[in-house]
Chains A and B, each alone.
Chain A
């Protein structure tokens, strides 16, 4: 049968899973950290998992739990989560034309399942293949479900492991260390370095401000510094 539509969709979903596979090892340690650090703050394993279920966005999950532990105000937590996840706006805009005619539920699920990884493979493979909407959705679903399942499993496993590990191991310190590595990885140009150093400096100067406001001020100051630096150079 050359054109069995079900089999074709099945093979697209499998193709999505295969494309996703090489990107999976990178999320395992991150997923474990997202599971055991909240537990080291005293959250239950289910609390730790709730972030993965409701947010499904690693770096912002870590930030949210760290800030909750520091008793930051709700607005600071939400603004920080929004800032870390702003990049999804760009992904969403770039992927939207490919999924625009899908039904409401499909689009909502696609939004929920959007990650750096699924964006990377769809952005790469949609333009070079002549797939119809259903095939594109199947490809997206295959890749997304795989990474979603692994992320949930890693968080829960990490949370259970975290319950056994004694407090003095200080596993919660892996959150700032993870952010440090992520931050250093973004320093592509002098303007990025300016943004980073300004952000760190203002955040440090504002350490004693209430509600962790120094963090928000640092973020805003850093962004402005990066933009100004880039404008001045060009």
Chain B
């Protein structure tokens, strides 16, 4: 465990604790403005989508690190199939299974 890791997780924990207990601790002097509450609606779709992108387009999955690279990166295709699975089923576990299965398949057909 590196010193940088401990700092990062501890600070992330503090940020989380602050957000969770901000109002339970001090509701008398801390009021949320309406524009903030309106904008909060759009934080999950915006940040989650922004977060998916580097996971899909950056770096190499374990398969590639172990067995070498293939012409077409399997991650974007697997993510697309996972997205279609979620839109069809609205269920998370089938989405994860479909995504992982297509990751393996798209890698395997190219070796």
Contact = CB atoms under 8 A, between A and B. Distances in A.
Nearest to B56: A176
B21 to A, nearest CB: 2
A152 interface: no
B15 A81 contact: yes
Contacts of B53: 200, 203-204, 207, 214-215, 218
B58 A70 contact: yes
Nearest to B46: A222
Contacts of B11: 74, 78
Given A172-B61, A173-B103, A92 B20 contact: yes
A29 interface: yes
Given A173-B61, A178-B92, A96 B47 contact: no
Contact of B21 (A90, A114, A166): A114
Contacts of B65: 167-168
Interface string B68-111: 00000001001100110011001011011001100110000000
A183 B52 contact: yes
A183 B17 CA distance: 23
Nearest to A93: B23
The dominant DSSP class at the B interface is helix
A108 B22 CA distance: 10
Given A85-B16, A97-B27, A177-B99, A219 B61 contact: no
Interface string B29-61: 000100001111111111111111111111101
A227 B42 CA distance: 7
> Contact residue range for chain A?
35 or more
Given A87-B44, A173-B61, A200 B50 contact: yes
Contacts of A219: 43, 46-47, 50
Interface residues of B, number: 67
Interface in A156-210: 166-187, 191-193, 195-200, 202-204, 207
A145 B98 CA distance: 33
A187 to B, nearest CB: 6
A199 B96 contact: no
A99 B25 CA distance: 9
A218 B17 contact: no
Contacts of A66: 51, 54-55
Contact of B13 (A40, A54, A80, A170): A54
Contacts of B61: 170, 172-173
Contacts of B92: 29, 178, 181
B16 A57 contact: yes
Interface in A205-234: 207, 212, 214-216, 218-223, 225-227, 230
5 contacts: A55-B16, A87-B43, A111-B20, A181-B92, A186-B48
B4 to A, nearest CB: 8
A85 B43 CA distance: 10
Contacts of B45: 183, 186-187, 192-193, 195-196, 199, 222, 226
